[in-house]
Amino acid sequence: MTQRFLSHQELASLVAELLAAKTRVIAPVRAKDDPEQVEYQPIQSLEDAALGVRIPRRSLKEFFLPPTEVLLHYRQTKTGVEIREVATVAPPQVILGALPCDAAGVAAVDKVMNWDYRDELWFGRREATTIVSFLCSLMDATCFCTAVGLGPESSTGSDVLLAPVTGGYLAHLVTPKGEALLQAHGSEASEATLAAAEAAQREARQKVEQNLAAIPAEFAGWLASNFDNPVWKTIALRCHGCGGCAALCPTCHCFDIVDEHESADEGVRRRNWDSCQTALFTLHASGHNPRQSQSERFRQRIQHKFSIYPSRFGEILCSGCGRCSRNCPGGMDLPTIVGELVAMAQAKPEAGGQ
Amino acid sequence: MKPLQELAHKLLSEGTVKVVIGYEEGPRGVRPAFITDAAQAEKLIFDIRCVQNLAAYLNPRRTQVAQLGKAAVVVKGCDARAVAGLIREKQIDRDGVVVIAVRCGGVLQNPETDTVLTSETVSARCGGCAVREPSLHDYMVGELPAEPPVNPQRAEQIAALERMSPAERWNFWDEQLSRCIRCHACREACPMCFCLKCTAEKSQPQWIDSSATLQANRAWQTMRVLHQAGRCVDCLECERACPEHIPLGLLARYVADAVERRFDYVASDDPSVPAPFGVYRADDEEEFIR
């Protein structure tokens, strides 16, 4: 991996050049309705950005999978139905100051979107986007990226990873896309810069590691064989089933597809975010619902993230960003819940018996 | 809170209830507690951080809670109004729940960050509370604290909305509702949204498109807030659940104020008091029907 030093001034020039070339630049900015809060939004200059201030309220997911998007337009004619497809090539954009957990979340969804079918809309946006992440120093008590195999210095999903050092950043050029972005910027990093960045990385990791120990590989198997464990009956008592967790989750990617009429003979097919935390998600046309209560719906959330997806793709479908816990009106805390389940999985079977 | 813990212990050990729904210290501040074992009753707390409306867990849609058996629920006066609403609307039986009211002096707006109750930190819904000792209760615990400070924020927001022209008000709500992603978290977290099939999910015909377009968002939030008229207890669970931070409580409060002006009714803590939605009065004004 190539490393390079980038001064504050060089970063500002890079942003200015991108904007001049009509590239959309997205960065964390102060939320309009609440300046205490930060969210990813398009910026007009580097000064608009609020880098390293606070964990953005929402993840990067909406820039690749919008809450609603048109898949096709249709029109009924006398002879049949005319279909008009939507463009799958997206205009170029750069995301600056992404959290490593948010970049990793996008990479996790890549696998699903290229599994049994290659999702052209998702990859149209992915290919047009360069993600420049920041070494994270914003962790709080709900963060657990290190427990899911990532970390505040993780470059998974990022094209460039910037680590703040004196006078600027140490830029790790992770992908050819990242190298292309910075080819005309920055200078060779000094030994001191490399050492400072490494120290910052270690410190950042230690802060998150306190929240939850690394989830052991056997956890996925334990979940799979404990589908009927009585723990599921009581684990989600305080869960309202609102699905706010799924909306905020960088890795939750389920969607619903609907046709909506716009006039007597014209309409659109859209896909909209959906969530396994609501009863409607699994409601059959017959009226039967295989996931009757929130106990079963929450079990699904845990099983999918920590067992089903890992069995398919070898990784956990969670980047440890903590948003689900931070926003939960019922006080469901994923690091605590996963910690308790892991402890059950690791507990020795009781001695004695018959 | 000792009297609360002792009462919960008694109710559980005597078998009066199977679960006491209250508050406990969680990994990140106060969280709802479901105490099924009398020995665990000492976990129960009550203080100014207890913002959640636990009546939401009596909503019959929370089947995971219902399966535990008969419940006692710890309520602030404002929350008791939601329990009264569920009884009034025949969602639960009065005899099916034990209501433990805690005398309340107001709760924090941001329990995550604040620790002291002042006119700036208190929830804007607490000022002038008339139900600090709600009529609906089986037990009432605690000493009556001083009256909650008055946070003028909500009254100022309502006044600002009133000053706007209809076009300005329309634009204000358009800007807010354009952020709605139609996750329906507001509905799911609401104690009073108990319909097994919401209008938003009716598809024959499709009254409201399920996509998050501005037009459908307007229809959805307008429909929801009108169904809440005179029923909403201003507990703000909807706002706490909203991942997009839309001021849904303000929208509901605006409608609640209109109900109060027109029908002289505020969501009552007495289930026997009929709500405007449930009664017909021959002398209701109907000047808007032409």
B65 in A contact zone (CB under 8 Å): yes
CA distance B33 to B50: 11
pLDDT at A352: 44
Task: For B259-280, write each residue's pLDDT tens digit.
Answer: 999 899 999 999 999 999 888 8
Burial class of residue A34, CB neighbours in 10 A (0-12, 13-18, 19+): exposed
The residue of chain A nearest to residue B175, with distances taken between CA atoms, is: A33
pLDDT above 70 for A348: no
Task: For B188-238, write each residue's pLDDT tens digit.
Answer: 999 999 998 899 988 888 899 999 999 999 999 999 999 999 999 999 999
> CB-CB: which of A58, A238, A329 is closest to B240?
A329
pLDDT at A350: 55
A253 in B contact zone (CB under 8 Å): no
CB contact under 8 A, A333 and B27: yes
In this structure, chain B runs to a length of 290
Residues of B in contact with A335 (CB under 8 A): 27
CA distance A316 to A148: 6
Which residue in A30, A231, A240, A334 has the most chain B C-beta atoms within 10 A of its own C-beta, making it the best mutation to test that interface?
Answer: A240
Task: For A218-276, write each residue's pLDDT tens digit.
Answer: 999 999 999 999 999 999 999 999 999 999 999 999 999 999 999 999 999 999 999 99
Out of A3-12, A190-199, A252-261, B9-18, pick the least confident.
Answer: A190-199
pLDDT at B282: 86
Helix (H) or strand (E) holding A354: none
The SS3 call for residue A14 is: helix
3-state secondary structure string across B139-204:
EEECCCCCCCCCCCHHHHHHHHHHHCCHHHHHHHHHHHHCCCCCCCHHHHHCCCCCCCCCHHHCEC
Residues of A in contact with B26 (CB under 8 A): 331, 333, 336
CB contact under 8 A, B212 and A142: no
pLDDT category at B283 given cuts 50, 70, 90 is: confident
CA distance A228 to B280: 50
> CB-CB: which of B206, B237, B243 is closest to A247?
B243
Task: Report whether B219 contacts B200 (CB < 8 A).
Answer: no
Task: Report whether B98 contacts B139 (CB < 8 A).
Answer: yes
Mean pLDDT calculated for residue range A119-124: 97
Task: Report whether A130 contacts A106 (CB < 8 A).
Answer: no
pLDDT above 50 for A183: yes
CB contact under 8 A, B34 and A248: no
Which residue in B28, B31, B179, B213 has the most chain A C-beta atoms within 10 A of its own C-beta, making it the best mutation to test that interface?
Answer: B28
The pTM assigned to this predicted structure is 0.94
A187 in B contact zone (CB under 8 Å): no
